[in-house]
Amino acid sequence: MKLIINDLQEEVLFKLLGKHENVIILSENTPIHHCIGCFGCWVKTPAYCIIQDSFASMGPQIAACDEIILISKCTYGGYSPFVKNVLDRSIGYIHPDFTIRKGEMHHKSRYPEQISMTAHFYGEDITPEEKSTASHLVEANGLNLNTKKNQVFFYKQPEEMKGRIL
Domain range for 70 is: 2-161
Q: Is the pTM here over 0.85, yes or no?
A: yes
| DSSP structural state of residue 103 | T
- Domain membership of residue 69 (yes or no) is yes
- The set of residues, in sequence order, having a beta carbon less than 8 Å from that of 56 and lying 6+ positions away, is 48, 49, 50
Q: Does a structural domain hold residue 166?
A: no
Contacts of 29 by beta carbon, 8 Å cutoff, 6+ apart: 10
pLDDT tens digits along 73-126: 999 999 999 999 999 999 999 999 999 998 999 999 999 999 999 999 999 999
Residue 61 sits in a domain whose CATH number is 3.40.50.360
Concatenating the DSSP letter of every residue in 59-79 gives: HHHHHT-SEEEEEEE-BTTB-
- Could you report the per-residue pLDDT of 37-63, keeping only the tens digit for each? 999 999 999 999 999 999 999 999 999
The one-letter code for the residue type at 139 is E
Q: How many domains does the chain divide into?
A: 1
Using left for φ > 0, alpha for ψ between -120 and 50, and beta otherwise, residue 104 falls in beta
